[in-house]
Chain A
Amino acid sequence: MSASIAPECNDIKEKYDTCFLKWYSEKYLRGNTTSNECEELFTKYKTCLNLALKEKGIENMLDDARKSLKDSEAGKS
């Protein structure tokens, strides 16, 4: 599996990724789009990741990028 930018999050990321792949291939692609069995793992992973992004100062850059992404999406429709 691909590594996380924050080595301390690798453990939880691995668990989340594994859960997602199983859900995506066995549920989502088969039309069961409502289940969210990986939500708890994702919340834990995000908590770990967000802390690291803040420490690395990536958060602001990410916000800017998201904004320009939204703008371009708004321009599309």
Chain B
Amino acid sequence: MKFFENVFTYDYSFPAVSLAYFLRYPNPYSRHVLTTDVIDRYVDPATQRLHTTRLHLKKSKVPSGILKLLPKGIGGSDNSGQSYILETTIVDAKEGWMQTESRNMEWTGILSVVEKQFYQRQPLEGALDTLEGLSLDDRRSEQTTVRTTVTFRSRFGQGKLLGRKKAEPSSDHTGDYEEEAPKRGFFSSLSTAGIQRTIELIGLNRARDAVLKSKQGMNVVLERLRSGGIVGVLEGMRQDREAVYGPEGGPWKRVWLTGNGHASIEDDDH
């Protein structure tokens, strides 16, 4: 298992940062994010916390470095170039924190990536103890800290991925890798562990870039929020799309125009 950790401070209030989180796609740094849907959302009546589950579809490829390590037929077969990410968030507006968790839903046997973030309001001295909604102008000095932890775990070579038979019926618990290893001999167990470590490292290297990009994206959204409110963010999104695909749209046109109710290229409306 490998870990990546990063702490960053936004020069924006907690309400603004949490809103930007929900509003962060699309932005100029998120062109790989194709769609976002809310699967579930509710306020826990006991805690007043807002729970949200979202499904993102992102453009992604299994890195070629990882593909090389996989037996033929595994990894190369799926050329959709897209992958699903499940994201859960919990917001506590009273206490001024938000925790998020994102994980990949496919290829988890090869590499499971779990990103956790903890956003926390940094109250200033003398500031009021309660949140007062979206204070975008009068609290410019307020800050929000976010701690990001990404965990990489490859189970490559363990169990069904390679079509290896489940050993003895007795080893039906998850720790069977350690027990099986000595039987397979020192070198083969070393290479499995080595491949797992390599896969985790490739994931780790990609994550550094991804975490930086998502920070940049959040900052763009926050800046738009500060200068133009929610309307400003929505206008920025429209401009991002035009910058990529031109005013005529492109691949986005169908979904966006249909979504906006302006026009419909596909005539499948009921």
Contacts and interface: CB of A to CB of B under 8 A. Distances in A.
Contact of A21 (B23, B53, B57, B103): B23
Query: Chain A's interface: helix, strand, loop or mixed, by majority?
Result: helix
Given A65-B86, A69-B88, A45 B268 contact: no
Contacts of B269: 8
Interface residues of B, number: 52
Query: Chain B's interface: helix, strand, loop or mixed, by majority?
Result: mixed
B134 A2 contact: no
B134 A25 contact: yes
Contacts of A65: 86, 103, 105
B74 to A, nearest CB: 18
A22 B133 CA distance: 11
A65 B88 CA distance: 11
Given A5-B37, A31-B94, A14 B57 contact: no
B19 A3 contact: no
B259 A10 contact: yes
B35 A3 contact: yes
B237 A1 contact: yes
22 contacts: A1-B237, A2-B35, A8-B268, A14-B260, A17-B38, A20-B22, A20-B38, A21-B19, A21-B230, A22-B230, A28-B91, A28-B93, A30-B133, A31-B130, A31-B131, A34-B43, A42-B41, A58-B55, A61-B105, A62-B39, A69-B88, A72-B114
Interface of B: 15, 18-19, 22-23, 25-26, 33-39, 41, 43, 48, 50, 53, 55, 57, 84, 86, 88, 91, 93-94, 101, 103, 105-106, 114, 130-134, 230, 234, 237, 252, 254-256, 258-261, 266, 268-270
Given A1-B234, A10-B259, A61-B84, 5 more contacts: A4-B37, A16-B38, A25-B19, A31-B130, A69-B103
